[in-house]
A = this chain, B = another copy of it.
Amino acid sequence: MATTTAQDAELAGALVQTMHVLQDLYAETSRPLGLTPQQAHLLCVLLAGPLGMTELSRILSIERSSLTSMVDRLERRDLVARIPNPTDRRAFQIELTDPGLALANDAHKAFTTRIDDLTADLSPTARRTLSTALTSIFSRA
């Protein structure tokens, strides 16, 4: 127990609460756009470019079979498309359609705006400090 201090508990608690508040905010923001939080996440990941099913499932931390049905639903709504991979006939690239791109941008902007509102009172220095700290802790290789 020597390594667990009251300050550890405080920080862990603050992070868990941060997660829950942001989750709620993410859900509230996605919903009026007609998206579940998971769908919004998927579309926003694809903003960086098309991805194969396996890679996308890894990024979203879900099984490939779970992703299949998510992509099915989004494809039916013409938000994403399965593009055959010319070099591997087993594989697809999942990419945003034009409406999917527009919606992903809307979602991204909506989240960012809501979070900016929450953090509006911070000084530029505090903002930079926080951003740096979180990035160094939670960035993934």
Contact = CB atoms under 8 A, between A and B. Distances in A.
Interface string A99-118: 00000000000011101101
Interface string A14-48: 11111111111011000000000000010000000
A126 interface: yes
Nearest to A11: B131
A23 B134 CA distance: 15
B20 A116 contact: no
A7 B133 CA distance: 14
A65 interface: no
A66 interface: no
Contacts of A26: 16, 19
A111 B8 CA distance: 12
A68 B13 CA distance: 27
15 contacts: A4-B113, A7-B128, A8-B116, A9-B112, A11-B115, A11-B130, A14-B135, A15-B22, A17-B134, A17-B135, A18-B138, A20-B41, A24-B61, A122-B133, A129-B133
